Amino acid sequence: ILTKQPHTEVTSTHRQRQAGTVGVDLGVYTLAAMSTGETIDNPRHLDAARTRLTKAQRALSRTQKGSKRRRRAARLVGRRHHEVAERRTTTLHTLTKTLATQWSTIAIEDLNVAGMTRSARGTLEQPGRNVRAKSGLNRAILDAAPGELRRQLEYKTNWYGSSLKVIDRFFPSSQTCSACGAKAKLTLAERVYRCAACGFTADRDVNAAINIAAQAAVTPGMEETLNARRAVDDHPQPAGSRSSSAMKWEG
């Protein structure tokens, strides 16, 4: 049964207003690091199911096309992928509801997931380097699903009276000291931020989350305003026009 009811404005609770703003740094090493110092481990659901997935896919490859055995093997592969998707969804729903209900403002970075997971294979004239390592990183990023986590936060913050702020993707949250503001160059392998200027030391992701929360507090007008299709209705249609603007469909 599907019902449609008007949206009612939900205000934040006293507990949410007391908690204030939390910065969240999304990643692969840890699924989420918060400005409070808490880190959420990455369950790595795809790696945990790799043995069963590999066994099912190899059994599928040994079957004959068009046979009943192949159809059964294909259903088993689909079931294994569905199990991984269900575990991933459960983890993300648990995290996003915790964030939306415990803080009044959640600040995250505007991650370019499509660019981060682009293949490093290159072309025949200019072949890429470290293609195998990059493909493994791409799988890990997609398994963490930062885009789905942001999508869930967009509508759950409206449900629970909180707000979502999205920081510009070019803001150097990982390269900035959260104590004095000095800049430093860190490689992806460095997991601890050590400031040469003031001596501040912290986990790399926690330091980034603190910077995200501070940036959200000083920069207004960063609330999430795009719809589910990432479109903005800049040109409203005249009355009676048959063309439709971007809409968010739910059902």
Catalytic residues: 25, 109, 205
The CA distance from 168 to 218, in Å, is: 13
Q: Are 211 and 219 in contact (CB under 8 A)?
A: no
Question: The tokens 């940036």 sit on which residue?
Answer: 215
- Furthest-apart CA atoms within the chain: distance in Å: 68
The CA distance from 22 to 210, in Å, is: 8
The CA distance from 223 to 209, in Å, is: 17
Token digits for 135?
């493909």
Q: Are 186 and 195 in contact (CB under 8 A)?
A: no
Using the Cα atoms of residue 200, residue 202, residue 208 and residue 211 in order, give the sign of their dihedral: negative
Q: Counting Cβ atoms within 10 Å, is residue 230 exposed (0-12), middle (13-18) or buried (19+)? A: exposed
